[in-house]
């Protein structure tokens, strides 16, 4: 390709789509022209600098697969539309999130402004059936299949609430998943969850953060768990809210040339704790790595996914779209991310335990945890957690690891003596695995809440028919 054509293509890339950090399926049945054009684009732009002799496959899928790069993909028009919808977190449906516990499927959450919310469906409702078909014995995936359909079609949904069966007429439509959700966990401690780096993520993030600040924010818990990435410029915008001047990352191209991404913004007067896990990838790692390197934030959770390469979207003139890996990135201090990941400052396992650990690191003290119908709510933040607490013969048991995090105690196990120890300050409580106050369920150890109340001052609980509220602080 001559220099003029190369400059024109680069301009199209910058004006049409920003760089991406995500993945999707490969298209099949491409034409000869498309295959030849994609071959040419891969030769010119792919990070590995493939030669023409290495891309001799006649089928698009085989040619792309020969790069051994799971992030470089070709999309036909339908696949691109589907991919773009997933990137922007939109789907056609009724707008509920489901959870299963003890063979019963409940509404875990209702998406704001969705058909389900407008119809009056509430979190905690038991899903009974749809269009005269019973959901008894069906899994969440089977029920999800029943609720899917074309936009504009109607589903008659039945739920059980408070022992009564209610029926709702719900019209399916395109639903936008919330990109940012916020909550004040306690006085001064704010929580902000970012589910994806969409085109509007930077703008929405700033707006929601300002709302928390107006409510007296003195420390922030930023939740990037299960955030698989998105647009680089969204991560750049968000980083600029916390870093006055610096770089987001070092971007190295196929020639080894470093093209650092600049950050220009402001700093915050409060501390930041970032929640990450093994599904925090790409743009999540880009942002987390920068905030960690600049000392802006502490990371809490488990090691991140380790996707440190960047893709760009190139429109294929003969039809379709090519997502091709063009760079590898390193954190501001030069740490490698690809196939390595980021290690948290505080390693914590368990979804609920991670949030509690981040909350305490951010200065939070009082905790209110409610468990029931497959959902665990921690200071107003809801999460799927079946079996976190349950009752047997009118006695409530709570997961031992969750209980230790809740009361702020260190939990250790001695395999020789088969004993557990809970240590909080100078207080030490030791008990054996065959203690009558313990129950093993689905491989997890659970403890009688009455024992916790007896042992630890400040821990209380109140139980209902199918929910329990645990309080500590």
**Any idea which residues carry the catalytic annotation?**
282, 293, 307
DSSP three-state, residue 185:
strand
- Distance separating alpha carbons of residues 463 and 57, to the nearest angstrom: 64
- Distance separating alpha carbons of residues 321 and 26, to the nearest angstrom: 11
362, 364, 442, 439: which is closest to 403 by C-alpha? 439
143, 139, 138: which is closest to 155 by C-alpha? 143
| Segment holding 284, helix H or strand E | helix 283-293
Beta bridge partners of 272: 220, 297
Name every residue whose Cβ is closer than 8 Å to that of residue 279 and which is 6 or more positions away in sequence: 225, 226, 227, 228, 305
**237 touches 321 (CB < 8 A):** no
156, 270, 253, 180: which is closest to 216 by C-alpha? 270
Beta bridge partners of 440: 445
Instruction: For residue 439, give the DSSP letter.
Output: E
What length does the chain have?
A: 473
Beta bridge partners of 127: 159
Beta bridge partners of 307: none
């Amino acid at each position: 390709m001559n220099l003029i054509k190369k400059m024109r293509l680069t301009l199209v890339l910058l004006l049409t789509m920003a760089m991406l950090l995500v993945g999707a399926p490969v298209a099949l049945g491409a034409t000869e022209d498309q295959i030849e054009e994609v071959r040419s684009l891969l030769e010119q732009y792919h990070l590995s600098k493939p030669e023409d002799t290495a891309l001799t496959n006649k089928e698009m899928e085989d040619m792309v697969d020969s790069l051994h790069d799971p992030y470089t993909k070709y999309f036909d028009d339908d696949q691109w539309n589907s991919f773009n919808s997933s990137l922007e977190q939109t789907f056609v449906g009724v707008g509920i999130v489901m959870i299963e516990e003890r063979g019963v499927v409940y509404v875990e959450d209702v998406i704001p402004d969705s058909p389900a919310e407008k119809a009056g469906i509430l979190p905690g409702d038991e899903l009974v059936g749809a269009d005269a078909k019973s959901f008894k014995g069906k899994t969440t995936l089977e029920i999800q299949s029943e609720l899917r359909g074309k936009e504009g079609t109607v589903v008659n949904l039945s739920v059980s609430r408070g022992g009564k069966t209610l029926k709702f007429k719900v019209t399916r439509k395109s639903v936008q998943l919330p990109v940012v959700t916020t909550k004040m966990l306690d006085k001064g401690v704010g929580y902000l969850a970012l589910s994806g780096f969409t085109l509007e993520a930077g703008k929405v993030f700033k707006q929601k953060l300002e709302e928390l600040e107006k409510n007296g924010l003195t420390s922030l818990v930023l939740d990037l768990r299960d955030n698989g990435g998105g647009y680089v410029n969204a991560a750049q915008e968000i980083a600029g809210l916390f870093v006055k001047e610096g770089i987001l990352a070092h971007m190295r191209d196929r020639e080894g040339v470093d093209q650092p991404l600049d950050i220009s913004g402001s700093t915050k007067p409060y501390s930041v704790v970032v929640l990450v896990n093994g599904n925090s990838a790409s743009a999540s790692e880009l942002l987390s790595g920068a905030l960690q390197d600049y000392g802006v934030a502490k990371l809490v959770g488990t090691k991140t996914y380790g996707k440190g390469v960047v893709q760009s979207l190139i429109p294929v003139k003969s039809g379709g779209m090519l997502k091709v890996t063009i760079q590898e990135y390193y954190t501001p201090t030069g740490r490698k991310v690809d196939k390595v990941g980021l290690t948290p400052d505080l390693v914590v396992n368990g979804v609920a335990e991670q949030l509690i650990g981040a909350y305490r690191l951010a200065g939070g003290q009082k905790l209110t945890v409610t468990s029931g119908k497959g959902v665990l709510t921690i200071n107003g933040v809801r999460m799927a957690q079946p079996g976190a607490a349950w009752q047997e013969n009118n006695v409530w048991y709570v997961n031992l690891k969750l209980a230790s995090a809740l009361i702020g105690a260190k939990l250790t196990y001695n395999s020789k003596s088969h004993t557990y120890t809970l240590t909080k300050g100078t207080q030490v409580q030791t008990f054996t695995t065959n203690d009558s106050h313990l129950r093993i369920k689905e491989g997890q150890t659970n403890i009688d809440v009455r024992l916790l109340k007896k042992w630890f001052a400040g821990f209380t609980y109140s139980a209902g028919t199918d929910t329990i509220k645990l309080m500590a602080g």
